[in-house]
Amino acid sequence: MAKGMRVQLVYEVSQDPDTGVDVTRLTPPEVTCHRNYFYQKCFTNDGSKLLFAGEFDGNWNYYLLDIARHEAVQLTEGAGDNTFGGFLSPDDRSLYYVKNERTLLEVNLSTLAEREVYRVPDDWVGYGTWVANSDCTKLVGIEIAKSDWVPLNDWKIFHDFFHKGPNCRLLRVDLQTGESAVIHQEKNWLGHPIYQPFDDNTVAFCHEGPHDLVDARMWMVNEDGSNVRKVKEHAEGESCTHEFWVPDGSSLMYVSYLKGQQGRTIYSYNPDCGVNEAVMQMPACSHLMSNFDGSLLVGDGSGTPVDVKDTSGYTIDNDPYLYAFDVAKKAYFRVARHDTSWATFANSRQVTHPHPSFTPDDSAILFSSDKDGKPALYIANMPASPEFVTA
């Protein structure tokens, strides 16, 4: 298959055995398919089309699904797509993604023509998820020195890479001209760069690695490289993970968990005053994402985290549910079972992760799971009359 080819999909709708909501599997369980990273735009603004990754021709490439027509068009071709980091532009005209850890490309969704925006220098490797500002005029990304780089295909390599102290740099790239500038550089594994929505001066990033070994997970820096600062000083036995900006830019939210405890805490960081506030308790979810204004959150129940060194100290029971959280009520409810394995699959640590997020109208949850075979895409409707649990 090649760019422009169309795939007709047969959906399968079932009722969740515990909540009764409709859960629609969009992609076939015999073909590896997954969604992009949970804070990257994947739906068109009207919710009618969905960006996803599929292995229909032997490579993991991007497709755009017309949900009502059950038809997906292939947007990219060949090997090397970073199928987690790609995103749709705010005007729904373009896909941006990185290929072969080397080239940032823009795909015109009308013509499928590709434009090279930026090329990573030969001595560096493009790593992880690259994230645009609200106007989609520029993005921030991480480059790792090629001399330090190894493909991070499993969790043992993930742990080992942290101890290497790789030379990393946080950069910004102009999406029109391709001009780049280094914002911050250090001999420390850096990841998850994210512009604060509607404030290009502020960039969040993380110190990556086993959560119980990093000095402090979350950091911020001004776009000009000044004022590098910690978001939170970790308490004894505390790990923090999966931070994201609320899409309206009001706060940075993240998950905190303590050694020896099953539950976790949702935190919110106010960038204006530098205050961290505990929002509410939650079940043992891994990823967390909000709707536009942060009034609703969704998380994916998980098991013992694999991205810590002391797994015995952080052992928890596996939780197979998707949860929604009402911040005003400080209460949550089960949406549906995701039942994914969380296993490393096809040399990917991420492809079986649910990475849930809301549809544009907040009526349903998009997630990935391998519960029916290979990883696939699902949409679970929100319950009409949810059973709230007070946090």
Q: Which residue has the tokens 């303590």?
A: 258
pLDDT of residue 303: 63
Q: What is the pLDDT of residue 23?
A: 98
Distance of CA 259 to the CA centre of its chain: 24
Least-confidence region, from 151-165, 194-208, 220-234? 151-165
On the question of pLDDT at 152 being above 70, the answer is no
> What number of CA atoms fall less than 13 Å from residue 44's CA on the CB side?
14
Average pLDDT on 259-279 reads 91
Average pLDDT, the chain: 92
Reply yes or no on whether the pLDDT at 312 is more than 50. Answer: no
Residue 214's pLDDT band, with cuts at 50, 70 and 90, is confident
Cβ neighbours around 178 below 10 Å, total: 13
Query: pLDDT class for 13, splitting at 50, 70, 90?
Result: very high
* 23-59 core/surface letters (b: 16 or more CB in 10 A; e: else): bebbbbbebbbbbbbbbbbbbbeeeebbbbbbbbeeb
Query: Does 306 score more than 60 pLDDT?
Result: no
- SS3 of 343, please? coil
- At 284-297, the pLDDT tens digits run 898 999 999 999 99
Higher per-residue confidence, 307 vs 96: 96
Backbone angles phi, psi at 162, to 5 degrees: -60, -45
Whole-number pLDDT of residue 313: 47
- What is the percent of the chain with per-residue pLDDT over 70, rounded to a whole number? 94
233-251 in b/e form (b: 16+ CB < 10 A) is ebeeebbbbbbbbbbebbb
Dump pLDDT digits (tens) for 21-80.
999 999 999 999 999 999 999 999 999 999 999 999 899 999 999 999 999 999 999 999
